[in-house]
Amino acid sequence: DVYKRQVVDRSRDPGYAPDMPRSEPDPSASTPRTRSLELLLVSLPFSAERRVTGEESIDAYNASSQAFTRMESLMVRVIDDDGRTGWGEAFGHRSNPATWAALEEIVGPFALGRSTEPAEFRAEADYAFHAFGRTGPVHFAVSAVDTALWDLAAQRSGMPLRWAARS
């Protein structure tokens, strides 16, 4: 099953009052800005293929549990001003609803209009979201956007992502 939803730039909506400062597009900037984000939740049948003899001792939140029958992946598609598309994935398993909410309500709107340069975005996001801690749904959401921006950077450089990330 695939569920899709577009994150819109709500700054264009009448009556929008931003909760946090947004970077204004710089016409002299050479790096494109984030034009839009799309969230995709993919859910596939899953089995840990683990034999259980007797009673299961692992809780239903552990992916190796026999009760864990679907594997979800929360994908983020970032489209820049040049029309390029970068893809990222948010860690989540059963926390995907909270990570989706973080992407839709906090991190997605924060990313819109910002530079697609990964290091610049990551520094701004780390500063903006430091109060949310170093793990959890907000961090997973930032990481998904960060990964998509690295994908875009690799495309701009003409190198495979594994090489672009080293430079």
Which residue has tokens 């009760």? 67
* Ranges of H-type helices in the chain: 96-102, 108-111, 118-128, 137-157, 161-164
1 confidence band (pLDDT: 50, 70, 90):
low
- pLDDT of 7 > 80? The answer is no
Query: What span, in angstroms and rounded, lies between the C-alpha atoms of 48 and 129?
Result: 35
23 confidence band (pLDDT: 50, 70, 90):
very low
Higher-scoring residue by pLDDT: 148, 92: 148
Nearest to 11 by CA among 28, 33, 40: 33
- pLDDT of 142 > 90? The answer is yes
Residue 69 confidence (pLDDT): 78
Distance of CA 113 to the CA centre of its chain: 16
Query: What span, in angstroms and rounded, lies between the C-alpha atoms of 81 and 97?
Result: 28
42 confidence band (pLDDT: 50, 70, 90):
confident
Residue 5 confidence (pLDDT): 67
- pLDDT of 20 > 60? The answer is no
Q: State pTM to two decimals.
A: 0.80
Nearest to 78 by CA among 150, 9, 145, 11: 145
119: its two tokens: 């290091």
Mean residue pLDDT of the chain comes to: 81
Higher-scoring residue by pLDDT: 69, 13: 69
Q: How many CA atoms lie within 13 A of 38 on its CB side?
A: 13
Query: Cβ contacts of residue 85 below 8 Å, gap of 6+?
Result: 77, 78, 79, 152
